[in-house]
Structure formats: structure tokens, C-alpha cells
Amino acid sequence: MKAKLKLTLFSAVAAGLVSVPSFAQSPAEKVYIPHGKYDEFYAFLSGGFDGQVNVYGLPSGRHLKTIPVFSAYPMNGYGYSEETKAMLMTSHGWIPWGDSHHPELSQTNGVPDGRWLFINENNTPRVARIDLKTFETTEILEIPFSGGNHASTFITPDSKYITAATRFSVPIPQKDVPIAEYKKYFKGTLTFIRADKPGKMDIAFQILVPGYDYDLAHCGKGPSYGWCFFTSYNTEQAHTLLEINASMKDKDYIAAVNWKRAEQCIAEGKYKEVKTKYAHNYRPPEGDRIARTEWKTSVKWIIPKECPGVMYYLPTPKSPHGVDVSPDGKYIIGGGKLATVIPIHSFEKMINAIKNKQFAGEVEGIPILKYEAVNHCEVPNPCLGPLHTEFDGKGRAYTSCFISSDVVIYDYKKCKVLDRVPTYYSVGHLMIPGGDSAKPWGKYLLPMNKITKDVFLPTGPELPHAAQLYDISGSKPQFLLDMTELGEPHYAQAIPASILMKKSLKIFELDKNTHPYATKSEEAAKVVRKGNEVHIYMTAIRSHFTPDNIEGVKVGDTVYFHVTNIEQDWDIPHGFAVLGANTSNLLIMPGETLTLKWTPKEPGVYPFYCTDFCSALHQEMQGYIRVSPKGANVPIKYGTGEEMHVVK
Amino acid sequence: MKAKLKLTLFSAVAAGLVSVPSFAQSPAEKVYIPHGKYDEFYAFLSGGFDGQVNVYGLPSGRHLKTIPVFSAYPMNGYGYSEETKAMLMTSHGWIPWGDSHHPELSQTNGVPDGRWLFINENNTPRVARIDLKTFETTEILEIPFSGGNHASTFITPDSKYITAATRFSVPIPQKDVPIAEYKKYFKGTLTFIRADKPGKMDIAFQILVPGYDYDLAHCGKGPSYGWCFFTSYNTEQAHTLLEINASMKDKDYIAAVNWKRAEQCIAEGKYKEVKTKYAHNYRPPEGDRIARTEWKTSVKWIIPKECPGVMYYLPTPKSPHGVDVSPDGKYIIGGGKLATVIPIHSFEKMINAIKNKQFAGEVEGIPILKYEAVNHCEVPNPCLGPLHTEFDGKGRAYTSCFISSDVVIYDYKKCKVLDRVPTYYSVGHLMIPGGDSAKPWGKYLLPMNKITKDVFLPTGPELPHAAQLYDISGSKPQFLLDMTELGEPHYAQAIPASILMKKSLKIFELDKNTHPYATKSEEAAKVVRKGNEVHIYMTAIRSHFTPDNIEGVKVGDTVYFHVTNIEQDWDIPHGFAVLGANTSNLLIMPGETLTLKWTPKEPGVYPFYCTDFCSALHQEMQGYIRVSPKGANVPIKYGTGEEMHVVK
């Protein structure tokens, strides 16, 4: 009681006795979300070498979910359950890992709309769609004729297309050639993927381009709608020791692609249909929810010189990494990582330069525009190692600078530096909510760093990556938070919580479950032998499985546990695991059916159990499956709590 | 500048103009770690169905690292690199997933000492050791004759033993028997693992016990040193619908095991050596760092009736889950999940009851002590569904209560309830730093919950698990933070940062790297063909690989990229990936060698690259490997930046 009577400064403030202007809020108070309140933004950070998308709440920095995308995820069975295995299929076989880079929210009229999130895979080229009702990956499309898909998944303002491009040029199509003959054989492709129809992602066309490395991209909006911009480096076309050999030229290029013109060329038949094989994996977010792989067999190639006007090169200093378009669509900013300035191109000047044929040359039929003719200005002495740019919607651009470990803030129309803030350390991408869209929400800035060193408690040689959160709503940026990240985020996107949280699905409706092995009531549970396959139609509900005693399985059988969670309450998943399975567990959401495949090797009686604590009697949620020797005369039997049902 | 001149309350406080007593700190200020400061505790939370250990900083709740233990981890190649594959080997084959439950820090004199962290796997019974210099899993031991290893890895105060026990009884040894003959054939084992010699974990002995479900454990200390206590449930020996059939009896048992007596019986030859096969996987934390599997071939069984005095049963209401020993070693608290009281047993009374043979019966030679003879008291009306207990070192016990979603705080000597705090929702385990040791550090309480529902922004049907952090240093617990968790933490341990952070390794010393394929300088890099195997001795340093051009590989070859990170600076890892590999990337720490196995399927030229952004020229850190058709006459060639070296 004594404590309660003390009138402290804090309690005085809390009681409203002392008026504190919101300006006075400390960083601690600004990032703290009291119990009963929610974070203000969902932030989607790519996982980089973890292959996933990690969802955080801002401003708290709390991790909300890892959405498995390109890497198998033992935690919930993604890539292991029979329903999700096909998501990781490629023309190179089943691949349990990916390198996810650039998340991009779907847009309507240039504004993120919260329907989907796209993300690319850089190693074995792919793009994915995540459904933001379920926060699940529902679609993965492989990109053929690509040697690493980095400039991806940047979107057009109407979500019609997402981009992909060859990071590393390769022989196209692949063939056995000496590496030294790079200049002769190696090419790049810029790929446009039709993205606005869920379940129907497909390659609209690929543009065959010179054998450079294509790095990042962004698409135009407003006046520049119809265009997308890609950075390239290694225009030297080096194939070895690139850190020296690809850093020779003072300028490389931003490729400006007129995709409206490309559509015309396709319509006019000015393309080449090329045979190939690549995977399209789709998991319906409703119905049976079983992922399937469809093998695609060709793509349409546009050859720039056969489709004049489809593409121009904008010289840009030096080895440009990021390319970002201002919210009004008028300016294109290149992040020349070895440049001493930040070059800002003008879309209007570019169009005029094209009209006036202000060319400095051409490559493989692609005109190179004169730098002076397209350049709006160069931001002088901005920082060291400029990489990526985001916008706050108030006329300010924010560019991350790797070498000087800071973010430079400038008026991009006037090319005038306004401010800078430190990062800890060696910032790569940075993110402002809506910061690459037509209408940034602004408010927060999140630089994501490549080096952490002494920011957090050490954890052996392997440290987490770090980000800093800044409040940019005031006249000066305010440092708020050092947050840790999973994997290595390359870019992120954020959207106001109010847009997503209402549409977030709580359960899967059991009535709508059309999985062929769904078991919608305990009465319907059964065990069926089909030759050497044993299919167990099983239900899970607090706190038992039906059936929970199973006999008649033999060594040499393949057992499929098809487990339906027949709960219809929010946040009541059940897990499923069986001793000795060389796969993961299943984490089954209410109304969902997932399947675990098990090939028992020795006779015996093996336990299975619920792996996700579900009730006061969760520990009792277990069962046994008996495995008899090959050829044993033991019939299929099953039951829960009563006489076993014998299948004759 | 205007902003700087305003004297706000916050800036006045910050400037020391206003004195704020620390008592007045808000939860926000208490959990906030300013830039340049560190968290106060390392907290190790088990990942449950994610199979790992997740390390957090407290009080900030920031995730510092996921330590892969029982599940393959594509992010850093654990389970995929040739050096770590063997860690996931079991007698059932290679298993990419585990269910990790109870982390336990090594102890000296009953106090966590920060040398190692142990953790169990519940599905395919195993225990693991994590080295806290490197924060890596260095050792995994399989437990034979077990059907799920839940009561694990609880430690003796000298770290001599860690425990393991059958969660689900099974036929021991396994055989093909009808499930209905459970009572006749199914047994349990309580396993004691010698744990104090890194790299030499081994089963000291197993005690063959009745076919109940064994749930949790804790070992005695001080006066009760030499004993460990295990809860059991399902003493009904039900084999189906356990939620009803295993909840019939009013009391089940806590098994009190005198491991000193067990040692005597072993020394006197009163045991049975039983043949079996189980895996011991060890990855040396230094030297070659290559995990190897050693197959163990037998265990020693103690049969209680042949080793009188080794074990007693303490009746305990009802279906007890947790069993926890007070810091002074005098009291044993059972968490009877269906009980209406919290029973506290007295070690002293137990010893007297044994002396005085106050038995209520016996099971398979194991005396059952009289409840009244051992019970110190029952905490009346504590809460609903009591599960686990931790201690603050000030005479208070904290028990988590699943059904009433709270933590009850009581004086465990006087059996008097003092306070309770809410949890959101349905708390399972709870943790106080050092809270199961002889000297709890106290200060914080972390209840970890099974249900989250509305605490955080929704993320579709699958939500994160939640924990709440309380400050328990004052007279009343103060709610601090809702934090999210990865996977499903079952128990956690925390240790002051000051103990661990100084011994944390920053790099691996290249000089001490004895990996047979280590390449310690660029001059030593080479490519060697051995039949159909191609071994690439490769170095990685900012920002190139040596060699970065490789030819002479044929379809049908197996390629081993042995990549040595020759950096010796802190926080400069390099990654490695190659297009189309059906494995993960490698994340290679300074001084380390890791190996990626690749079996190219089609002729062509494939890029490889660094997956962890390492310098301003990271994007240039790439290379090519040429794959020729089977039988092609292309010799092995390799190089970086110069003429290729040709192997004749």
C-alpha cells in the first residue's frame, strides 16, 4: 500500500496531473506498446539467406511471424507435409532453401493495398506470392533463362506485373562453353511476370539483354507509368575477380524499359517463342489446399533491336545498386555504390532525350542516352557508398550509405542535403512505410544493416543482423530503437495495421475443406489400406486423436497420416508427430487437413502425439501405431477409447 | 534548432535537471535498452516444435539468435553442410526435425555457470549439448528404450548427470504386440546421462520402471543432493483416450530416484547390460569441426527390485506435470494439473518415511510412500491447473496455472498464497533467472503462454506464442512487456549477461583450423578430381572467392565446395550458394571451413556467390563453375582474375 501512496513523477504523469507534450515522449515510450494495444504497422522484412519473409510489428520491433517461402520450415511442416512439398519444386529438383530479397506489396493506383506480398529468390530464380489473409505462401513461379533473380519483385502501380532480372549473366540458353568466352555467350534477361491473378502467375515476356549483371529495379508511376527501371553493373563484362574487373568504368547503366511498348510488340508478333521447362507451384488458400506443380514449357522473348523503343540505357555512375522512383513518378534516383554523388534522372528529360535522339551510342540495338540529357542533378557530397533510396511523401529522399554507415536525407528536387542519421553499421536497404509507393505513409525510417558487432549481447561468432528505427514525423529524425532481425533482410515493406488486421483469417472453415482425405467428424475417421499404402483419416480436437490406436501396418508400408483439425475456434492449432519419422511435425490450423508420410523401419509400437500444447490435457493427446513384420497376419484395426474397429 | 531549445519534461529529465526516482520508471523505460547498452540477461527459450533453442535478451525481449539443435536450419546450413549433417543422425535414420523442450544450463555447486546449455528432444528421444562459447550445438546423444523423451534435460548440481525419461511407455525392447496388451508389455525408463565431459556424453544407466507416462523432473541439491524427482501420470496405464482414461485416479506419483544408490548398484554389478544401437553425434567446437556419428551398442539397466532403495513413489495429486525443488533442496513441489491444491513434499519427511517404512504399497519392487508421511503441506485454493514452479530466492514460489491463466505466488514454507499475476493466455512454463537453481537471481518473471489470440496483430490462423515479462524485484510484481516467441517455448533458462558475454568467441582462429579441406591462403586454393568426386579447396575474403572460375566438372560428378572463410575480423561471415543445389547455403564464420555438396544435372555454366552482404563490393563476390557433358574432354581448370591453372 505504501507504494501506491507515493506520488512519483511517473504516476503523476500517468494520472494526468502533469501535462507532458507528446514531443517529450522518450524513445522508450514511443516504441512501447502497452498490453491491449497493437503495433501501428506490419513490417515485412525479407529473410535473405533464411529464404523466408519475417513479419514484425512497428514501432515495437516484435517478431510476429516467419512466413516460410523458399526454405523448408520444420516448425510448421512447410516443405515437409504432403500438402506443401510441391511449393519447393523447381526444374533443378526439390530445393529446401532459397535466398529471399525484395518483398513488394501489391498496389492499387500506386498505393499498397494489402492483398498480397511478392518476394524473389535470388539463387535458383523464382518469385513467390504470399496471401495476406492467411499469411501463407500460395504461389511460386520459377524464372527460366536467368542466373540469379535479384532485380525482383518490383511491381507496377496496378499490380499487373512484377519484375525479375538476371543478376548473373549466363549462357542463354544454358550450354557448355568456356567461361572465358563470356562476352560471346553470356546474356541477361529482364522478365515481366503477370501478377494480378492469384494462382495464375506467369511470365508475360522476357527481354533478352546484354551480358551484364542486373541488380535492382523499380517501376514508374504517374507520368512514368508504363516504364520500369533496372540497374546494371559489370558492363565491363568481367567473368572473374569482379570486385576489380567490374569496377573499371566510371558509369554503368540504368535500363529504362517501356513495358507498354513491349506489350505492343507481343501483340504484333514481334517476339520469339522459346521452349524450356520451369515450375509453377500453386497452393490454393481454400478448398483442398494441396500444392501442385504445373510445368510450363515456353516463354516469349523480345529482342530489343526487333522491338525498337522497348528499352534505353541511362548512363549512371558508378556500379549502381538501387534504383528508386519518386512518389510523383518524375525522378529516378540511382545508388551508385562507388559513386561520389547521387545521380537523379528526370523522366521528362528522358522522354525528351528519346524524342530528340540524344544518344551516346547503342548496345545490341539498345540506344544509350546522353547522361547530361537525362540527368536532373547530382546530389553533391552525399555520403560514401550510396545504395538505396526511399521517400517520405514530403519531398524528402532517404538514401542508405554502406561505407559511411549513415542515411543521407535530401530534397530530391533541389538536390540539397538536409540531414543525416547514423546506422550501426554498414547499412544496406532502408524502409519507410509505403516508401517506394505513390503515397508514402512516412512516420518511420528503418535502416537495415549488414554489420552488427557490438550493438547487442554477443552470441559467438554468428551475430544477428541489426536495424535501427527512427521517427521521421518531426522536423528532425529521432532515434528510437536498435532491433534485431532474422536472417539478412534485403529490403522490407510496411503497411498500416488497420489495412490488414481486419481481413486476417482466424480459422479455415471446415465446411469448405475439400481435401480428399479430410475427416470432418470423428465418426468419419478410418484407416484404409491401398496395396502398400496405409491412409489414416484422422481427426484432432482437444484433446485426442481419432483414431488413437492403429494396428495392421507392416514394415514396407508407407503410412499417410491425414490429420484434420476439426476445431473451429481461433488460435487452437494441433500439432502431429510420430517417433522416428524422417520428416518434420505438422502444425495444423483449425479446419485444415495436413498429411505426414511415414515409413516405419522396424516392428514395434510407436507413439504419436500433439506437438502444440492445446489444453489442460494436452499431455494426454497421444496415441499408438503398431507396426508388424512384413507379411504378418495382422488386419487393419483402429479406434479411440472403445473396441477397435477391424477391417476385414 | 528550435526543437533543441525547447525545455521539455523529457529533456529536463535527461539533462538531470529533474530527479526521477528509479521507482518511477515506467514499464517502457524498464524494458528499453538505449543504444550502447546491453540487455541484462541472456534468456534461452526452447523452440518446442521448431526443434531449436532461441536466445533472447532480457528485459528488452529482443531475439538474439536461433541455435539450431534438432531441426535442419537452411539459414546457416546446419544439417545441410557436410560438417553438420551427422548431428541429425539417429538409429531411425537422418531426421530433419525435433521437438525441443527443456533447456538447462550447466551448474557448479547448484548455480548456473555458463559453460553449456543442455536440451532434450521429445519425439525421437535425444539430448543435446550447446557450447556457450560459440552458441553452437556440439553434441547430440540418442536415448534408446524410450518412447518420447520429455523429463529431460534436468541436471544435478555438479553437472554430473542430466536426466531423460520415457514420456510414452512402449514395449521395451520394442516388439510387435497388440496395443491392448499395454499393461503386460509397455514399460518406461528413467535415464541418467553422464554430462560433465564435453564430447563424451553417455548413458550412465537406465532404470526400468512401470509403464506409466513420465513427464518432468528436477534433481535435488543441498540436503537432497543425490536424488532426482520425476513426475508420472497415466498410472492408470491407459492406452487410448488418455484425456479420460488417464485422469481417473486422484493421485499419481512423483518418482524419487536415489542416483547415488544407483551408482552403488552399478559398482556392485547389480545391473543388466542390454544390447541396442543408438547414435552419439559430436561436432568438435575447434579443430576440424566436422560432426561424426559414433554408434553406441549397449546400456546398463537397473531393475528397481534388484537394487533396493534406488527408487520410491510419492503419491501426488492429480496427473502431476511439473516437479520442482526449492533452492534450499528441502521441498519438492508437484504441479498437479488436475489438482485443486499444490502439494509440497518435504525431503526430510521423505527420508524419515523411508527409514520408518511408511509404505502404502509397492509397484514392481518400488515402495509407495504414504502421502501424509511425505507431504509438508498443500497450498490451498491456489489456482486452476497448476503446472510448473520457479523460485525467486527470497522464499517465494511461483506456480503457473494453465486454466486460470495466471501465476500464483506463495510462501512455500508456510504454504500461504501471497499474490497472483495474470498471463495472456493459458500459461505453460514460467521462468525466473536461476529459478530452478540453488541461488536464483530473481528480478524477472517470464510466464510463457500457450494461447495468444488478441495480444498481437493477427497474422492469419497461425499466431506467435506470447510471453509476459514481470519485474519481481519490488514488493509487488510489475507488468513490463508482452513479447512474442519463436516456436513454442517449453521452459527457459536465463543467466546474467556478465557471465557469458566475456567468454563469447568472436572468430575461429584460422591457425587452429585442422579441417582436412581447409584452405588457409589463396595460394593454397585448388581443385582436385578423385574419380567422380571433384573437391574444390576455396577461400572467401572480402570480396572474392579463390578460385572463382572453375571448369572440368562433368555431369555425373559430385562436387564438394570446401569453402574456408580466411577473414579474421569479428562479424565478417561469408555465405556460399550455387544455382540449383538441392541443399542450403553455407554461412561460414571467420576461420571456419564448411562444405556444400552439389550434383549438377545439366551441362552449362552456373553462378555461385556470397549470400551474406560483406562489403561495398559484395555484389561482385561471385564466380562461375562450368559443367560439361559426361565424358567430355575438358580438363580441370581454375583461377581467379588471372590465367586459369590447368590440371593435366
- Indicate if the pLDDT at residue B12 is higher than 60: no
Cα(A333)–Cα(A342) distance, integer angstroms: 7
Q: What is residue B455's predicted lDDT score, i.e. its pLDDT?
A: 98
Other CB atoms within a 10 A radius of the CB of residue A21 amount to: 10
| DSSP element (H, E) containing B446 | strand B444-449
Alpha carbon A139 to chain centroid distance?
Answer: 12
Q: What is the mean pLDDT of residues B584-603?
A: 98
Average pLDDT over chain B, rounded to an integer: 95
Q: Is A461 close to B573, i.e. CB distance below 8 A?
A: yes
How would DSSP label each residue in B17-30?
Answer: SS---GGG--HHHH
Q: Using a CB-CB distance cutoff of 8 angstroms, which residues of chain B are in contact with residue A94?
A: 582
- Indicate if the pLDDT at residue A445 is higher than 60: yes
Percent of chain A whose predicted confidence (pLDDT) is above 90? 95
Interface pTM, i.e. ipTM = 0.95
- Indicate if the pLDDT at residue A4 is higher than 80: no
- Indicate if the pLDDT at residue B380 is higher than 70: yes
Q: What is the mean pLDDT of residues A396-420?
A: 97
Four-residue CA torsion sign, B448, A619, B55, B193:
positive
Record the cell numbers describing residue B176, joined without a space.
510387435
Which residues, at least 6 apart from A640, have a Cβ–Cβ distance to it below 8 Å? A522, A525, A544, A545, A546, A547, A548, A549, A623, B240, B241
Nearest CA in chain B to A96: B583
Q: How confident is the model at residue B106 (pLDDT cuts 50, 70, 90)?
A: very high
DSSP code, position A629: P
pLDDT digits 0-9 by tens, B204-216: 999 999 999 999 9
At residue A573, the 3 state secondary structure works out as coil
Q: How confident is the model at residue A454 (pLDDT cuts 50, 70, 90)?
A: very high
Size of interface A-B (CB pairs under 8 A): 511
Cα(B402)–Cα(B498) distance, integer angstroms: 33
Q: Using a CB-CB distance cutoff of 8 angstroms, which residues of chain A are in contact with residue B606?
A: 147, 170
At residue A180, the 3 state secondary structure works out as helix
Other CB atoms within a 10 A radius of the CB of residue A261 amount to: 17
Q: How confident is the model at residue A17 (pLDDT cuts 50, 70, 90)?
A: very low
B396 residue type, one letter: R
- Smallest CA–CA distance, residue A348 to chain B, in Å, is 31
Average pLDDT over chain A, rounded to an integer: 95
Percent of chain A whose predicted confidence (pLDDT) is above 70? 96
The answer to whether the bond into A153 is cis (omega within 30° of 0) is yes
Q: How many residues does chain A have?
A: 648
The C-alpha torsion from A100 through A106 and A110 to A111, rounded to 10°, is: -100
Beta strands, E only, B486-557: 492-496, 526-530, 533-541, 544-546, 549-554
At residue B348, the 3 state secondary structure works out as helix
Q: How confident is the model at residue A74 (pLDDT cuts 50, 70, 90)?
A: very high
Percent of chain B whose predicted confidence (pLDDT) is above 90? 95
Q: What is the mean pLDDT of residues A26-48?
A: 98
Q: Is A585 close to B507, i.e. CB distance below 8 A?
A: no
Cα(A448)–Cα(A464) distance, integer angstroms: 11
Nearest CA in chain B to A403: B616
Pick the closest to residue B174 from A437, A629, A538 (CA basis): A629
At residue B349, the 3 state secondary structure works out as helix
Pick the closest to residue B387 from B231, B169, B214 (CA basis): B231
Q: What is the mean pLDDT of residues A102-126?
A: 98
Cα(A274)–Cα(A272) distance, integer angstroms: 6
Closest by Cβ to A97, choosing from B39, B244, B584: B584
Pick the closest to residue A123 from A218, A48, A46 (CA basis): A48
First to last CA, chain B: 72
Cα(B350)–Cα(B352) distance, integer angstroms: 5
Nearest CA in chain A to B242: A620
Cα(A454)–Cα(B31) distance, integer angstroms: 19
pLDDT digits 0-9 by tens, B446-502: 999 999 999 999 999 999 999 999 999 999 999 999 999 999 999 999 999 999 998
- Indicate if the pLDDT at residue A478 is higher than 50: yes
B479 touches chain A (CB under 8 A): yes
Q: Which of residues 30-49 of B touch A (CB under 8 A)?
A: 31-35, 38-39, 42, 47-49
pLDDT digits 0-9 by tens, A231-267: 999 999 999 999 999 999 999 999 999 999 999 999 9
Cα(A477)–Cα(A503) distance, integer angstroms: 33
Closest by Cβ to A176, choosing from B506, B571, B604: B604
Q: What is residue B589's predicted lDDT score, i.e. its pLDDT?
A: 98
Question: Would you say B210 and B185 are in contact if contact means Cβ atoms under 8 Å apart?
Answer: no
A1 touches chain B (CB under 8 A): no
Dihedral class, residue A442 (left if φ above 0, else alpha if ψ from -120 to 50, else beta)? left
A77 residue type, one letter: G
| DSSP element (H, E) containing B108 | strand B104-108
Q: How confident is the model at residue A9 (pLDDT cuts 50, 70, 90)?
A: very low
pLDDT digits 0-9 by tens, A320-335: 999 999 999 999 999 9
A68 touches chain B (CB under 8 A): no
How would DSSP label each residue in A181-231?
Answer: GHHHHEEEEEEEEE-SSTT--EEEEEEEE-S-EEEEEEE--GGGTTEEEEE
Question: Would you say B339 and B322 are in contact if contact means Cβ atoms under 8 Å apart?
Answer: no
Nearest CA in chain A to B52: A75
Nearest CA in chain A to B169: A607
B478 touches chain A (CB under 8 A): no
The answer to whether the bond into B504 is cis (omega within 30° of 0) is no
Cα(A48)–Cα(A66) distance, integer angstroms: 12
Other CB atoms within a 10 A radius of the CB of residue B2 amount to: 7
Burial B202-220 (b: 16+ CB within 10 A, else e): ebbbbbbbbbbbbbbbbbb
B198 touches chain A (CB under 8 A): no
Residue found by looking up cell 549513415 in the block = A406
Cα(A320)–Cα(B85) distance, integer angstroms: 39
Question: Would you say A202 and A160 are in contact if contact means Cβ atoms under 8 Å apart?
Answer: no
pLDDT digits 0-9 by tens, B471-482: 999 999 999 999
Q: Using a CB-CB distance cutoff of 8 angstroms, which residues of chain B are in contact with residue A459?
A: 55, 64-65, 135, 504
Q: How confident is the model at residue B642 (pLDDT cuts 50, 70, 90)?
A: confident
Identify the bridge partners of residue B426 per DSSP, sorted by sequence position. Answer: none
Cα(A380)–Cα(A531) distance, integer angstroms: 74
Q: What is residue A13's predicted lDDT score, i.e. its pLDDT?
A: 41
Q: What is residue A648's predicted lDDT score, i.e. its pLDDT?
A: 84
Nearest CA in chain B to A171: B605
Q: Using a CB-CB distance cutoff of 8 angstroms, which residues of chain B are in contact with residue A3?
A: 23, 474-476
Q: How confident is the model at residue B5 (pLDDT cuts 50, 70, 90)?
A: very low
Structure-model confidence comparison of residues A13 and A193, the more confident one: A193
Q: Which of residues 367-406 of B touch A (CB under 8 A)?
A: 385, 402-403
Q: What is the mean pLDDT of residues A36-54?
A: 98
Q: What is residue B648's predicted lDDT score, i.e. its pLDDT?
A: 84
Which residues, at least 6 apart from A1, have a Cβ–Cβ distance to it below 8 Å? none
Cα(A566)–Cα(B482) distance, integer angstroms: 30
Q: Is B50 close to A74, i.e. CB distance below 8 A?
A: yes
Cα(A517)–Cα(A82) distance, integer angstroms: 12
Four-residue CA torsion sign, A358, A364, A365, A366:
negative
Q: Is B620 close to A337, i.e. CB distance below 8 A?
A: no
Q: What is residue B9's predicted lDDT score, i.e. its pLDDT?
A: 41
Q: What is residue A19's predicted lDDT score, i.e. its pLDDT?
A: 41
Closest by Cβ to A176, choosing from B65, B176, B632: B632
Instruction: Tell me, letter by letter, the H, E, C secondary structure of A37-75.
Output: CCCCEEEEEECECCCCEEEEEECCCEEEEEECCCCCECC
Nearest CA in chain B to A584: B97
Residue found by looking up cell 520428416 in the block = A583
B479, with CB counted inside 10 A (0-12, 13-18, 19+), is middle
Alpha carbon B445 to chain centroid distance?
Answer: 20
Q: What is the mean pLDDT of residues B302-326?
A: 97
Record the cell numbers describing residue B334, joined without a space.
508437484
- Indicate if the pLDDT at residue B4 is higher than 60: no
- Indicate if the pLDDT at residue B18 is higher than 60: no
Q: Which of residues 404-423 of A touch B (CB under 8 A)?
A: none
A407 residue type, one letter: V
- Smallest CA–CA distance, residue A232 to chain B, in Å, is 11
Cα(B648)–Cα(B646) distance, integer angstroms: 6
Q: What is residue A631's predicted lDDT score, i.e. its pLDDT?
A: 94
B249 touches chain A (CB under 8 A): no
Please provide residue B259's backbone torsions phi and psi, each rounded to the nearest 5 degrees.
-75, -20
Q: Is B240 close to A623, i.e. CB distance below 8 A?
A: yes
DSSP code, position A644: P
Q: What is residue A233's predicted lDDT score, i.e. its pLDDT?
A: 96
Cα(B255)–Cα(B216) distance, integer angstroms: 10
pLDDT digits 0-9 by tens, B165-211: 999 999 999 999 999 999 999 999 999 999 999 999 999 999 999 99
